[in-house]
C-alpha cells in the first residue's frame, strides 16, 4: 500500500520510483581485482566544470586553470566546446596561438554529432599538435523516447554520420594528430547491448588499431545505481567489445548518488583504463568525480597516481579563485578540517601515533586516524588536533608540544586538560592554539601571589666526609612581606623547599621534577615542571627562564600559588 501527501515522500510501498535492473554477470571478475597503476587522467574542469558554474570562468581564468592542470600533471585536458560559443572558440584558439600547450599535453574538444558544429570544431583546432575530438550523442531509452522521439537505428545513424564526417576532416588538419573519442551519453541508463552496438558501429567507421586507438567514453551522466552495478556494466562492455585491444575504455562518472569516486574505482577494477573528472568534483548537479580524492585514494594504497598534489592548498586557492566555489571543510584530503581531531580519544591516539612515527626507523606511515601524512600534500601538522569541549588531555598536550615546544609531563596532561576543558565549556566554542598558550601562561607562568621570587643564589658546601651539600639564599615576597631564606639540601630545589618549610611559609613535599629547553643559542629558554604535594592536594607548577635553576625555583612558587588559589 502506498500513500503520498502533497509535496512529501511516499510511505510504505514506493511506486513512484523503480530500482535499477542489475546486469546479468554471474562470473564477474572485478571484485577480486586491485588497482595497481594509475589510469590516464583527463580533466574536464574547463568544460563540464565550467558549464556548471553560476558565473562561468573568463578566458583569463580559464588560462590560469589550464596552467594549473598542466602543473598538476594532466596530459589530457578537455578545454571546451568551441562550437558552442565564441568564448569557447576564442579560448581554444588562444591556447594554440599563444603556445600554452606543452608538447606532452593533448587538448580535448567536445562536440555534438552535428555537421555544422563539427566543421566549426575542426576550424578551432588549426595549428594544434595533438587533439582529441570528443563526439557524443544521447543513447538511453529515456532520451530516445522523451527528448528525440527516435528509435535505436536513428540514434546509431546520428553517431555514425558524425564520426564519418570527422574521419573525412582529419585530412584537413595534416599538422594535427587527431584521436577520436566517442561517448554514448547517458550510458548508465542505456541498455547495455545497445551501448555496445552503437560503440561498435562507431569503431567500424573509424577503424582504429592497437597503435592508434579510439577512446570509448562510457558516461555515468546520471548516477542511477550502486557502484557495483556500474562495475558490472563496464566489465560486461569490455568483455563483449570486438577488437578490445584497439580501444581505450574511459569513465566519466557523475555524483548524483554521492558515489562517483566509488563508481570510478570499481569501473577501473572492471577494465577501464581512463578517467575523466574535475578537481574537487565540480560539475553539474552534485558534480563530476573528484579526481583529487580518486588520485589520493590510490596514493594511500601505494599507487603513484601520476598527478602531483604536493601543495594542495595552492591548488585549492587557484581553484576557488577561478570557479568562485569553496572547497567544503570536510572535503576528502583538501578540506580544512579533514586532518583535524576534536575528540579526546582520537587526539590521544594521534598524539601517540605521531610520537611512535617519529621514533620509528620505518618509512611506512602508521598513525591512527590519519590515512595520509598531511605533509605529503603540503598540509601542516599544526591543524591535526584542535581543541573544543569534546577534546581530551592528549590533544592539548600534543598542541602544547607541536606548536610551543612545551613537553608537559604525562601526569600534568590531566591537570592542564581539565583547565582547557573548563575554558571550552565556558566559551562554548573552539579554543585556538594561541588561546591555549595564553591559558597556560595564566595558569602557571604569570601567577605572583601570594609567592613571588625576588632573588635566589646557591653555592656548594664541602662536608667533612667529602660529600657535597647545596646551600641556598633566597629572597621571597609572601603577601607583600619580604622574607630572607636560607637552608641546605642535596640540590638547589631541595634546599629551597626546605627553606620554605623551615620558615613555615608553606607546608608541602616535592614529588617530581622535569625540565627541558626550548629554542637554540641565545634564544634558548629552560622550562621546569614541579609536582607538589600540598594540603590542597597534588598539583603542578611550571616556569620558564633563561637559567634552568631559576626556572625550577619559580616552578615551585607557581605550584604554591596555584595551591593557594585552590584554597
Q: Torsions phi, psi of 376, nearest 5?
A: -65, -30
Residue 268 contacts residue 304 (beta carbons within 8 Å):
no
The answer as to CATH 3.30.160.270 being correct for domain 451-566 is: yes
- Residue carrying C-alpha cell 600554452: 100
- The predicted model gives 381-396 an average pLDDT of 63
Average pLDDT over residues 390-413: 83
DSSP run (H or E) holding 486: strand 481-489
Burial track 452-478 (b if 16+ CB lie within 10 A, e otherwise): bbeebebeeeeeeeeeeebbbbbebbb
Q: What is the mean pLDDT of residues 388-399?
A: 69
User: In which order are the strands placed within the sheet that holds 537-545?
Assistant: 508-518, 525-534, 537-545
pLDDT confidence of residue 5: 58
346 is annotated as contributing to ligand binding: no
Burial class (CB in 10 A: 0-12, 13-18, 19+), 404: middle
Q: What's the pLDDT score for residue 402?
A: 81
Confidence tier at 393 by pLDDT (50, 70, 90): low
CB 289 within 8 A of CB 263: yes
Q: Is-contact 155 163, C-beta < 8 A?
A: no
Which grid cell sits at 555?
616552578
230 is in an annotated binding site: no
Task: Name the grid cell of 203.
Answer: 569503431
Q: All 3 cell numbers of residue 134?
A: 570528443
pLDDT for position 1 = 58
DSSP code for 251 = E
Alpha helices in 141-276 (DSSP H): 141-142, 152-169, 192-206, 227-240, 260-269
Average pLDDT of span 206-226: 97
The C-alpha cell 527528448 sits at 147
Three-state SS at 27: coil
**Mean pLDDT value across residues 59-66:** 96
Taking the C-alpha atoms of residue 377 and residue 373, their distance in angstroms, rounded to an integer, is 8
Q: Which residue has the cell 552503437?
A: 198
Question: Region 440-445: what's the mean pLDDT?
Answer: 96
Q: Which positions ≥6 away from 175 have C-beta within 8 Å?
A: 127, 128, 129
For the beta carbon of residue 318, count every other beta carbon within 10 angstroms: 17
Q: Is the pLDDT of residue 344 over 70?
A: no
Using one digit for the tens of pLDDT, what is the confidence trace for 268-315?
999 999 999 999 999 999 999 999 999 999 999 999 999 999 999 999
Whether the pLDDT of residue 359 is over 70: the answer is: yes
Closest CA to 157 of 193, 120, 197: 197
Q: What is the pLDDT averaged over residues 523-530?
A: 94
Would you say 259 and 225 are in contact if contact means Cβ atoms under 8 Å apart?
A: no
254 is in an annotated binding site: yes
Residue 335 has phi, psi (to 5 degrees) of -65, 150
Q: Which three cell numbers stand for residue 218?
A: 562510457
DSSP state of 170: G
* Rounded distance between C-alpha atoms, residue 236 and residue 62, angstroms: 38
Residues 6+ apart with CB under 8 A from 545: 525, 526, 528, 551, 554
Q: State the average pLDDT over residues 37-64.
A: 95
pLDDT of residue 566: 72
Average of per-residue pLDDT values in the chain: 93
Please compute Rg for the chain using Cα positions: 34
Other C-beta atoms lying within 10 Å of the C-beta of residue 308: 13
At 274 the three-state DSSP class reads strand
| Domains of the chain by residue range | 27-323, 344-442, 451-566
Separation of alpha carbons 212 and 351, rounded Å:
53
pLDDT tens per residue across span 472-514: 999 999 999 999 999 999 999 999 999 999 999 999 999 999 9
SS3 for 130? strand
Grid coordinates standing for 135? 563526439
Q: Which residue has the higher pLDDT, 1 or 109?
A: 109
Q: For 332-370, what is the HEC assignment? A: CCCCCCCCCECCHHHHHHHHHHHHHHHHCCCCCCCECCE
Statement: residue 540 has pLDDT above 90: yes
Give the domain 27-323 fold: TIM Barrel (3.20.20)
Query: For residue 48, what pLDDT is reported?
Result: 92
C-alpha cell at 456: 635566589
Quick one: pLDDT at residue 378? 93
Find, among 122, 145, 126, 152, the residue nearest to 135 by Cα.
122
Q: Evaluate whether 124 touches 117 at the Cβ level (below 8 Å).
A: no
Checking if the pLDDT of 107 tops 80, the result is: yes
Q: Strand, helix or coil at 407?
A: coil
Question: What does the buried/exposed string (b/e) look like for 244-270 if buried means 16 or more CB atoms within 10 Å of the residue's CB?
Answer: eebbbbbbbbbbbbebbbbbbbbbbbb
CA distance 383 to 387: 10
Whether residue 382 is predicted with pLDDT greater than 60 in this model: the reply is no
Helix, coil or strand: residue 227? helix
SS3 296: helix
Amino acid at each position: 500500500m502506498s500513500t503520498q501527501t502533497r509535496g512529501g515522500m511516499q510511505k510504505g510501498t514506493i511506486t513512484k520510483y523503480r530500482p535499477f535492473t542489475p546486469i546479468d554477470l554471474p562470473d564477474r571478475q572485478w571484485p577480486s581485482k586491485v588497482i595497481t597503476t594509475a589510469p590516464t587522467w583527463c580533466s574536464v574542469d574547463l568544460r563540464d566544470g565550467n558549464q556548471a558554474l553560476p558565473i562561468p570562468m573568463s578566458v583569463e581564468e580559464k588560462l590560469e586553470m589550464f596552467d594549473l592542470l598542466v602543473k598538476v600533471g594532466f596530459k589530457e585536458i578537455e578545454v571546451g566546446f568551441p562550437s558552442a560559443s565564441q568564448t569557447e572558440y576564442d579560448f581554444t584558439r588562444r591556447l594554440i596561438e599563444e603556445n600554452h600547450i606543452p608538447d606532452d599535453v593533448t587538448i580535448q574538444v567536445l562536440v555534438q554529432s552535428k555537421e555544422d558544429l563539427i566543421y566549426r570544431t575542426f576550424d578551432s583546432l588549426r595549428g594544434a599538435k595533438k587533439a582529441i575530438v570528443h563526439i557524443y550523442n544521447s543513447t538511453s531509452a529515456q532520451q530516445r523516447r522523451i527528448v528525440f522521439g527516435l528509435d535505436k537505428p536513428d540514434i546509431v545513424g546520428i553517431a555514425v554520420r558524425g564520426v564519418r564526417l570527422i574521419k573525412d576532416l582529419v585530412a584537413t588538419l595534416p599538422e594535427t594528430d587527431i584521436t577520436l573519442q566517442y561517448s554514448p551519453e547517458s550510458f548508465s541508463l542505456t541498455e547495455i547491448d545497445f551501448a555496445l552496438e552503437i560503440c561498435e558501429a562507431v569503431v567500424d567507421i573509424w577503424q582504429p588499431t592497437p597503435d592508434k586507438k579510439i577512446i570509448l567514453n562510457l558516461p555515468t551522466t546520471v548516477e542511477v545505481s550502486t557502484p557495483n552495478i556500474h562495475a558490472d556494466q563496464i566489465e560486461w562492455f569490455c568483455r563483449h567489445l570486438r577488437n578490445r585491444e584497439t580501444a581505450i575504455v574511459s569513465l566519466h562518472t557523475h555524483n548524483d548518488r554521492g558515489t562517483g569516486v566509488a563508481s570510478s574505482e570499481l569501473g577501473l577494477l572492471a577494465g577501464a583504463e581512463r578517467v575523466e573528472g574535475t578537481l574537487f568534483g565540480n560539475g553539474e548537479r552534485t558534480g563530476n568525480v573528484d579526481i583529487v580524492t580518486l588520485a589520493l585514494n590510490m596514493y594511500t594504497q601505494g599507487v603513484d597516481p601520476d598527478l602531483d598534489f604536493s601543495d594542495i592548498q595552492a591548488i585549492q586557492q587557484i581553484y576557488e579563485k577561478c570557479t568562485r566555489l569553496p572547497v567544503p571543510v570536510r572535503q576528502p584530503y583538501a578540506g580544512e578540517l579533514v586532518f583535524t581531531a576534536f575528540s579526546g580519544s582520537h587526539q590521544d591516539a594521534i598524539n601517540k601515533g605521531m610520537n611512535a612515527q617519529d621514533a620509528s626507523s620505518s618509512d611506512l606511515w602508521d598513525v591512527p586516524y590519519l590515512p595520509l601524512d598531511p605533509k605529503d600534500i603540503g598540509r601542516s601538522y599544526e591543524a591535526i588536533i584542535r581543541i573544543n569541549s569534546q577534546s581530551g588531555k592528549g590533544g592539548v598536550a600534543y598542541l602544547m608540544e607541536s606548536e610551543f615546544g612545551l613537553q608537559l609531563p604525562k601526569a600534568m596532561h590531566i591537570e592542564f586538560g581539565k583547565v582547557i576543558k573548563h575554558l571550552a565549556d565556558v566559551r562554548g566554542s573552539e579554543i585556538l592554539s594561541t588561546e591555549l598558550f595564553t591559558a597556560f601562561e595564566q595558569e602557571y607562568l604569570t601567577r605572583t601571589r601570594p609567592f613571588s621570587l625576588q632573588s635566589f643564589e646557591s653555592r656548594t658546601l664541602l662536608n667533612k666526609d667529602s660529600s657535597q651539600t647545596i646551600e641556598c639564599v633566597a629572597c621571597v615576597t609572601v603577601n607583600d612581606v619580604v622574607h630572607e631564606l636560607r637552608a641546605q639540601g642535596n640540590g638547589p630545589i631541595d634546599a629551597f623547599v626546605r627553606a620554605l618549610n623551615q620558615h613555615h611559609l608553606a607546608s608541602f613535599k616535592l614529588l617530581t621534577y622535569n625540565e627541558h629547553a626550548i629554542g637554540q643559542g641565545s634564544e634558548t629558554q629552560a622550562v621546569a615542571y614541579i609536582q607538589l604535594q600540598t594540603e590542597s592536594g597534588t598539583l603542578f607548577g611550571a616556569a620558564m627562564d633563561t637559567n634552568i635553576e631559576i626556572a625550577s625555583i619559580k616552578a615551585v612558587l607557581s605550584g604554591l600559588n596555584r595551591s593557594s588559589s585552590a584554597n
